[in-house]
């Protein structure tokens, strides 16, 4: 059964510009694999190696995601093959529509036991993609996973929760979102980069998947309301905690 990693080819926020109305201008931002995705890719590579199965990369994006540079960038991270949907119409899709398309790509991969994603993309940072993919597939979504171990018939997941961690045993297919520090991604070597250009990548368009509903249109933006500093002084930590609770911060 294949291990799948869903990744996003997104603009680099370091090149973005915040306009006066709070809108982010991405026009000069160069695209790359989203910042946290290499963690999920590395985790997927290790799990696939331990399970002795293939690792497949999937992505939904504009035509840019199918460019030779984008494909080589992703495939050099340890994927055996790729399946991507590249269509400029995607730029107008909502997160729900993208999640539906990713779920359909998972179905096209074949027999899949695990889908991994990052905790969120670097541009939108909505953090809803894992749940959306899982919802369309009818699988459980497990977030904040810091470690994955392969067991006979399933996986052992270490999930971060408030106050510590808990261990989950998964025996069926699932969608897993890794924490941003779950592992340290390996830097692709020149050999990996050269080999990436020879790996098979199937490229689909929007016409190859069933269109999902739930389109969204942004009708306005504004900066957060500026809150004046209160300048309060506290003599003890208990007083500080009590004040924070009174203001609804804790």
- Strands 24-25 and 17-18, sheet pairing: antiparallel
DSSP 116-147: EE-SS-SSS----HHHHHHHHHT--EEEEEEE
In a domain, 114, yes or no: yes
230, part of any domain? no
Chain centroid, CA 48 distance in Å: 18
Which residue, 62, 40, 73, is CA-closest to 178?
A: 40
> Does 241 reside within a domain?
no
Q: Is 248 within the bounds of a domain?
A: no
Tell me whether residue 234 is in a domain. Answer: no
Asked whether residue 24 is domain-assigned, the answer is: yes
Whether residue 74 is contained in a domain is answered as yes
Distance CA 230, CA 228 (A): 6
Return the CATH number at 124.
3.40.50.620
pTM metric for this prediction: 0.81
Whether 143 is in a domain gets the answer yes
Q: How many domains does the chain have?
A: 1
Task: Classify residue 98 by burial, with Cβ atoms within 10 Å: 0-12, 13-18, 19+.
Answer: buried
Per-residue pLDDT in tens (0 to 9) along the chain, 250 residues: 899 999 998 777 777 777 777 777 777 777 778 778 899 999 999 999 999 999 999 999 999 999 999 999 999 999 999 999 999 999 889 889 999 999 999 999 999 999 999 987 766 667 789 999 999 999 999 999 999 999 988 999 999 988 899 999 999 899 999 998 888 888 889 999 999 989 999 999 999 999 887 777 777 777 777 777 777 888 888 888 888 888 777 6
Rounded to a whole number of angstroms, the distance between the first and last alpha carbons of the chain is 44
SS3 214: coil
* Residue 61 near residue 50 (C-beta atoms within 8 A): no
Q: Residue 93 is part of which domain span?
A: 2-222
- Whether the CB-CB separation of 202 and 83 falls below 8 Å is answered with yes
């Amino acid at each position: 059964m294949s291990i799948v990693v869903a990744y996003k080819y997104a603009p680099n926020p370091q090149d973005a510009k915040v306009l006066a109305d709070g809108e982010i201008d991405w026009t000069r931002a160069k695209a790359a694999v989203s910042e946290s995705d290499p963690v999920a890719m590395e985790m997927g590579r290790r799990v696939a190696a331990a399970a002795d199965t293939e690792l497949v990369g999937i992505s939904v994006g504009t035509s840019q995601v199918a460019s030779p540079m984008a494909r080589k960038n992703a495939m050099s991270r340890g994927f055996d093959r790729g399946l991507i949907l590249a269509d400029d119409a995607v730029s107008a899709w909502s997160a729900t529509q993208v999640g539906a398309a990713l779920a359909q790509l998972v179905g096209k991969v074949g027999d899949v036991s695990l889908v991994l994603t990052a905790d969120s993309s670097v541009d939108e940072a909505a953090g809803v993609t894992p749940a959306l993919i899982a919802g369309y597939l009818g699988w459980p979504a497990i977030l904040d996973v810091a470690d994955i171990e392969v067991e006979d018939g399933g996986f052992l997941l270490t999930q971060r929760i408030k106050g510590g961690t808990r261990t989950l045993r998964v025996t069926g297919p699932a969608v897993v979102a890794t924490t941003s520090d779950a592992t340290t991604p390996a830097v692709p070597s020149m050999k990996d980069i050269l080999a990436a250009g020879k790996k098979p990548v199937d490229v689909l368009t929007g016409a190859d998947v069933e269109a999902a509903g739930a389109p969204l249109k942004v009708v306005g933006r504004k900066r957060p309301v500026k809150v004046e500093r209160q300048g309060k002084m506290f003599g003890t930590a208990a007083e500080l905690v009590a004040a924070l609770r009174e203001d609804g911060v804790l």
